[in-house]
Amino acid sequence: MKKGTIKVSVLYPSGEGKTFDMDYYLNKHSEMVTELLGDAMLGATVEEGLAGGEPDSKPPYHVIGSMYFESVEAFQNALAPHAEKIMGDIPNFTNIEPIIQISKVVI
Amino acid sequence: MKKGTIKVSVLYPSGEGKTFDMDYYLNKHSEMVTELLGDAMLGATVEEGLAGGEPDSKPPYHVIGSMYFESVEAFQNALAPHAEKIMGDIPNFTNIEPIIQISKVVI
């Protein structure tokens, strides 16, 4: 994605007792978010954690989902009318409280 | 990046007293890593944190750098001979202990 693009990442930390329904996340939640955010969302990625940096370690994050936007305002305007619905869907696939990171693409 | 590609992310959590020399990171460290890992590295991205999910919040991560590889083995084989040099360069640009995440691209 080109330099300066805004990347909004939703990171789901792994840990004892944490659950995550990947099927629901990919086929229901992500589909819904894509539809609700519409053209403001320039693209999206999903990664599933395999391991950490140490041998045989668990991944620090179970899943990381990211979405790209032209600007922070474009993201906020797209999210605002649907924030409650999107956030309210999270307990349907996980008991993890996600970490939200808004970044600027540098490379 | 295509489904199944391995993504190795290095996340630098932000926090009180944490420092990060972006100029050194981009122009010295990233250049060195790119050269040392060679063709095994299929691509790389760098994001600089702007904010968290709450209004006026700080970004959870100062910087997130990621590299793509064909497989976990390809990553490990490329890194092994240079791991000490690469890890040893980190204190030259930050006092943050990074989080390393190995993921599989799903979307």
Q: What CA–CA distance (Å, rounded) separates B4 from B20?
A: 32
DSSP A78: H
| B29 contacts chain A (CB < 8 A) | no
Nearest CA distance, B56 vs chain A (angstrom): 11
- The tens digit of pLDDT for each residue in A13-26 reads 999 999 999 999 99
Helices (H), chain B: 22-24, 30-37, 72-79, 83-89
Q: pLDDT, tens digit, for every residue of B47-101? A: 999 999 988 999 999 999 999 999 999 999 999 999 999 999 999 999 999 999 9
Residue with tokens 């690469």: B86
Name, in order, each residue with C-beta under 8 angstroms of B92's C-beta and a sequence gap of 6 or more. Answer: B21, B24, B28, B29
B12-32 confidence digits (pLDDT tens): 999 999 999 999 999 999 999
Structure tokens at B54: 């709450």
Query: What's the pLDDT tens digit per position in A33-70?
Result: 999 999 999 999 999 999 999 889 999 999 999 999 99
Q: Is residue B13 within 8 angstroms of chain A, CB to CB?
A: no
